[in-house]
Amino acid sequence: MSKVLSLTKFIIQERAMFPQATEEFSTIMTQIALVGKIIARELSQAGLIDILGSTGATNIQGEEVQKLDERANEIFVQAFEDSHIVGTLISEEMETPVSVSTTNNSGTYALYFDPLDGSSNIDVNAPLGSIFSLHRLSSLPKSNESLLRAGSEQVAAGYILYGSSTILVYTCGNGVQIFTLDPGIGEFLLSAGNITIPRRGKIYSVNEGNRWKWTSGMQNYIAYLQETDAPSGRPYTGRYTGCLAADVHRILLKGGLYLYPGEVKKPEGKLRLLYECAPLTLVIEQAGGIGSTGMERISTIHPTALHQRVPLIIGSPEDVETAEQVLMC
Ligand code: AFP
């Protein structure tokens, strides 16, 4: 029988090896794991209780709020309320950050999250995710400006993917680990450690329904991936679930690239820098890949707004570099 290593035990071992994986960080990861377990349980019962469908409200992103979006956000907030460690919660679903600090000198971590990624999959029982990013601040934020931090400043990031099983993927700068939830014992167990992304893949993941809204450079690049050319491994095959965490997870394991480009009339694209692009970029970079807008690397962007959107091209290093070269021409 292979060795069983729980998330809790893994974090304790990690603390012994890497000073940056502090006790505070262990506590935060334990709470994130709890959030994952609760959301996974609620999703497993979604068709049985009155939790599918829309709330009738629209969020700060101008998108229809699903009941499960709201519930997932609530679960994150409740897990970190009265926290002595995380002082500020910044969510894709909340217009402004929420302070959960109990005293003035505690809670200098800030947690950014997309509580339920891939909302259009909710009602059709397709994969969903939760994406998170952790920053350490020097003091409690006095304004929203102090929460506008580059991806390179993240101390940890990851995602929970609710698919055929529930997995937790994270990095705190020491490689990427994957834990799978064993529902029988309610524990996340290490299922793959120190993941590396293939240098080049054969998969591209993009919403091709938007093709005619893209720049000609982007249209030509996707056409290039679809051409037959055996020496360069083309054609690539297309895969797209509508859940970023699921699509990027496939790319992490199998190689290739995920793209959500800007459009001629909407150059900033759709995805949110702080809740989606920066955290997934940290994970992919830690596995040896690249996250880019096509023009600049995601981790170097200094946000100008909390809900800022940027184009995203993320995945195997050789694939993303080729895309950058084509798009910069
Ligand atoms: P939500 O987080 O609002 O559910 O949006 C999902 C998402 O940000 C990402 O998970 C998908 O890859 C992408 O949007 C899907 O967008 P399209 O439906 O435009 O392809």
At 171-201, the pLDDT tens digits run: 999 899 999 999 999 999 999 999 999 999 9
What does the pLDDT read at residue 20?
61
At the top level of CATH, the class of 203-328 is alpha beta
Cα angle 118, 119, 123 (rounded to 5 degrees) comes to 120
Q: Residue 264 has what DSSP assignment? A: T
Domain ranges of the chain: 7-192, 203-328
The rounded mean pLDDT for the chain is 92
CATH superfamily of 7-192: Fructose-1,6-Bisphosphatase, subunit A, domain 1 (3.30.540.10)
**pTM for the whole structure:** 0.95
Q: Which residues have CB under 8 Å from 1's CB, separation 6+?
A: none
Q: Which residues have CB under 8 Å from 145's CB, separation 6+?
A: none
Ligand 1 centre distance from Cα of residue 171 (Å)? 23
pLDDT greater than 70 at residue 104: no
Q: Scan for tokens 């095959």, then name that residue.
A: 237
The answer, yes or no, to whether any atom of ligand 1 lies below 6 A from the CB of 114, is: yes
Query: Which range among 37-51, 205-219, 237-251 shows the weakest confidence by mean pLDDT?
Result: 37-51
pLDDT greater than 90 at residue 56: no
The answer, yes or no, to whether any atom of ligand 1 lies below 6 A from the CB of 242, is: yes
Query: Which range among 51-55, 81-85, 239-243, 310-314 shows the weakest confidence by mean pLDDT?
Result: 51-55
What does the pLDDT read at residue 301?
98
Residues 113-128 pLDDT 10s:
999 999 899 889 999 9
Residue 194's CB is within 10 A of a number of other CB atoms, namely 11
What would the two tokens of residue 215 be? 């720049």
Ligand 1 centre distance from Cα of residue 295 (Å)? 22
Q: Which of 273, 261, 263, 281 is nearest to 305 (CA)?
A: 273
